[in-house]
Amino acid sequence: MYNQNGHQKDTVIQVLRPPNFIGGLEFSNLTYTVVKKQKIDRKWHKEDVDLLHDITGYAPKGRVTAVMGPSGAGKSTFLDGLAGRIASGSLKGRVALDGIEMSPSFIKRTSAYIMQDDRLFPMLTVHETLLYAADFRLGSISKAEKQQRVEKLIEQLGLSSARNTYIGDEGTRGVSGGERRRVSIGVDIIHGPALLFLDEPTSGLDSTSAQSVIDRLHDIARTGSTVILTIHQPSHRIQMLLDHLIILARGQLMYQGAPKDVSSHLGRMGRKVPKGENSTEYLLDVIQEYDQSELGVTALADFAITGMKPPKLSDLELSFSTIIQTPPQTPALERADQMKKNQNKLHLSIDSSVSKRRVVNNYDCSVRSELNTSRSCSSPGYYTYSNEILAGTPTPHDSDYSLHEHDYFTDFTPKGPTSLAVHHQLGPKTPELFLSRQMVLTFMGVLMATMFTHPNDNLQGITDLLSFFIFTVCLFFFSSNDAVPAFIQERFIFVRESSHNAYRASSYAISGLITYLPFFAIQAATYAGIVWFALELRGPFLYFLIVLYVSLLTTNSFVVFVSSVVPNYILGYAAVIAFTALFFLFCGYFVNGKDIPSYWKWMHIISTMTYPYEGLLMNEFQTTKVFGKDLSGAAINGFKILEGLDIGSHASQKWKKIYIMLGWAVFYRVLFYVVLRFASKNKRT
């Protein structure tokens, strides 16, 4: 397991490095085990299955390391394990940077992880996107230095021609696919990480764009970063840019070393690369052949570990065209069981001392003989080493080691006040969000003003006013529904940025609220100014405005919270609409609060429509003015209307409604923060 406290364990397995090893990421005995369920004879059985099985090796500094393998090989899982994105306790093994053992949390702080999907704000330009990334991650340097770094990065990524182009999305034309991917890379390397992880950076790109991305990564690696990426079926031109290969199959190590050494690895295996065929592609074909045979890839993994030459398929009458195939889609439990059967068939009784040995590279014995060490080369093409510390080998606790974890920290230090800038881009980022709300509220304000203008002082006039107030409350509730897709789009970006400590969840939640406040004020003031005079409403205008303003704040907080717990915007809309209907039903418009059955009273209390509706009515009808006469001819003043609706008539109760709405707004924002802080984790369990 990762050693997080820095204490040396009883047995330490050292990763053997090549003669010209210049530092980088080293890993040993990485094993990731999950529990799988399988139904056998109508009963569910649990079994532990290794998605990663005892992988040891390294990724050199200043080089591009490509993790390859067929589908289901465990490439992304392996990358997540190296990047500290697998929950603590699930992954066993060790990871070290330049010889210093690192914890998952430290790896995350010193690295960047570019996900397969580009999660960027569509309404920002390339320059704005990178500049905001610099604001988040480079809080300790001046603005001029940030600008200088952004300009240098734009040039380094080959984005000068797209500098002022919007990122764009499905509805807005923006940068090309290759440029978008390079912007995503730029966002995560703005702070100069020591490690750069990329999951399928060429996925979905044409060959030219894909080569451009890898070419830029090659240049980035040459600046001193350790670049590790997963890639599926790279072109020959892209393979020329790769420095180091790690090939996996079924979560086991098949090959590790330079691309040029693949041919010799196949030769030692007894497979000659056909003339004119790419050696790496041929190795993948060989892996597929064994994977679809009764032997499985275990035979190749054993060859990589022990040097024991795998039996030829023809020797066991397992011709590729006649074998009983075990397709890649076979469930994990069946594959695991098949691997055990394969070992029995091969009668592999490996001595315990041999089982402790691990492959770390596939160098020719003549090259390895240059090392004046006691490491053996008992079989061609692989290294072995014991679980003992060799004499003179520095450890993280030796005085010979001058490197410490602090040496890897960049100049980025997340701070609360600095991180409050996280949402300053909300205005330019999604102007259509606020513009659409403003247009809707303006249009509906004019519509309501012309429809309910000058209500009569009779029973019909009272009914008209009640309808106006409940419609206003519903309108303001529905106007916040557009926050559902907006936040869900942001959530993926938040997970990516917060995973690298660009800012805290609390900073995101607080700054998001602060950014919304002035826009809410503009929207509420626009609607209030249009309808107030047209309907000749009574009571203080300021209170009417505050109710609308706080109503927007409360409903937005509720909608944002719901958006944080749903997986997509379709379910988000469904949940918000369902709650809207419930809140509307129990707000007191259809049935007075006192007449609601006792077992549904709680719905009346939690309805966010109850309090703005009652507050607006109290502001209008807390008066002795006569609004009409009942059927008996008796005068009906404002207080009698409130009494009939079971709504308080005391002036102080108006402000109580405001306080309750603010309380609900705070409550939903706190829940929103809790979800962000503890549930929005980009980790495997």
Strands 100-101 and 91-97 turn out to be antiparallel
Q: Yes or no: say if 359 and 305 are a contact pair by the CB < 8 Å rule.
A: yes
> For residue 655, what are the contacts with CB-CB under 8 A and spacing of at least 6?
none
The string of pLDDT tens digits covering residues 503-521 is 778 888 888 888 889 999 9
- φ/ψ (deg, to 5) at 426: -60, -40
Give the burial class of 366: count Cβ atoms within 10 A of its Cβ; 0-12 exposed, 13-18 middle, 19 or more buried: exposed
pLDDT level of residue 20 (50, 70, 90 thresholds): low
Q: Yes or no: say if 106 and 407 are a contact pair by the CB < 8 Å rule.
A: no
Q: Report how far residue 104's alpha carbon sits from residue 27's, in angstroms, rounded to the nearest whole number.
A: 12
Q: Report how far residue 638's alpha carbon sits from residue 640's, in angstroms, rounded to the nearest whole number.
A: 5
pLDDT level of residue 117 (50, 70, 90 thresholds): confident
Give the burial class of 79: count Cβ atoms within 10 A of its Cβ; 0-12 exposed, 13-18 middle, 19 or more buried: buried
pLDDT level of residue 544 (50, 70, 90 thresholds): very high
Q: Report how far residue 335's alpha carbon sits from residue 49's, in angstroms, rounded to the nearest whole number.
A: 9
Q: What is the average per-residue pLDDT within 345-353?
A: 35
- Is the whole-model pTM more than 0.85? no
- φ/ψ (deg, to 5) at 424: -65, -15
The string of pLDDT tens digits covering residues 290-305 is 888 888 888 888 887 7
In sign, the C-alpha dihedral spanning 69, 70, 72, 76 is: positive
Instruction: Quote the pLDDT of residue 499.
Output: 64
pLDDT level of residue 684 (50, 70, 90 thresholds): low
Domain covering 24-232, topology: Rossmann fold (3.40.50)
Greater confidence (87 vs 668) lies with: 668
Q: Report how far residue 165's alpha carbon sits from residue 567's, in angstroms, rounded to the nearest whole number.
A: 31
The string of pLDDT tens digits covering residues 103-116 is 887 887 788 888 87
Instruction: Quote the pLDDT of residue 245.
Output: 94
Q: Report how far residue 547's alpha carbon sits from residue 543's, in angstroms, rounded to the nearest whole number.
A: 6
Residue 197 has pLDDT above 80, yes or no: yes
- Measured CA distances, 74 to 179, 246, 451, 576 (Å): 28, 11, 64, 38
Helix (H), strand (E), coil (C) string for 32-46: EEEEEEEEECCEEEE
> For residue 362, what are the contacts with CB-CB under 8 A and spacing of at least 6?
255, 256, 257, 261, 264, 265, 304, 381, 382
Token pair, residue 63, equals 């080089």
Strands 244-249 and 91-97 turn out to be unpaired
Residue 318 has pLDDT above 50, yes or no: no
pLDDT level of residue 648 (50, 70, 90 thresholds): confident
The string of pLDDT tens digits covering residues 230-255 is 998 888 889 889 999 999 999 999 99
| Number of neighbouring beta carbons within 10 Å of residue 384 | 20
Domains of the chain, residue spans: 24-232, 416-683
| Number of neighbouring beta carbons within 10 Å of residue 487 | 21
Closest CA to 513 of 564, 560, 567: 560
The H-assigned helical ranges of 68-141 are 75-82, 104-109, 126-137
Q: Yes or no: say if 128 and 164 are a contact pair by the CB < 8 Å rule.
A: no
Instruction: Quote the pLDDT of residue 454.
Output: 82
Q: What is the average per-residue pLDDT within 397-421?
A: 38
Instruction: Quote the pLDDT of residue 444.
Output: 94
Closest CA to 56 of 408, 380, 362, 287: 362
Q: Report how far residue 7's alpha carbon sits from residue 68's, in angstroms, rounded to the nearest whole number.
A: 34
Closest CA to 408 of 98, 85, 8: 98
Q: Report how far residue 27's alpha carbon sits from residue 7's, in angstroms, rounded to the nearest whole number.
A: 17
Greater confidence (602 vs 122) lies with: 602
Q: Yes or no: say if 204 and 232 are a contact pair by the CB < 8 Å rule.
A: no
Closest CA to 74 of 306, 332, 324, 355: 332
Q: Report how far residue 297's alpha carbon sits from residue 343's, in angstroms, rounded to the nearest whole number.
A: 11
Greater confidence (357 vs 89) lies with: 89
- φ/ψ (deg, to 5) at 35: -100, 120
The string of pLDDT tens digits covering residues 654-683 is 899 999 999 999 999 999 989 888 876 655
The string of pLDDT tens digits covering residues 133-181 is 888 778 778 888 889 889 989 988 889 999 899 988 776 788 888 888 8
Q: Report how far residue 628's alpha carbon sits from residue 491's, in angstroms, rounded to the nearest whole number.
A: 53
Q: Report how far residue 537's alpha carbon sits from residue 455's, in angstroms, rounded to the nearest whole number.
A: 9
The string of pLDDT tens digits covering residues 439-453 is 999 999 999 999 988
Q: In this prediction, what percent of the chain has a pLDDT beyond 90? A: 23
Instruction: Quote the pLDDT of residue 527.
Output: 95
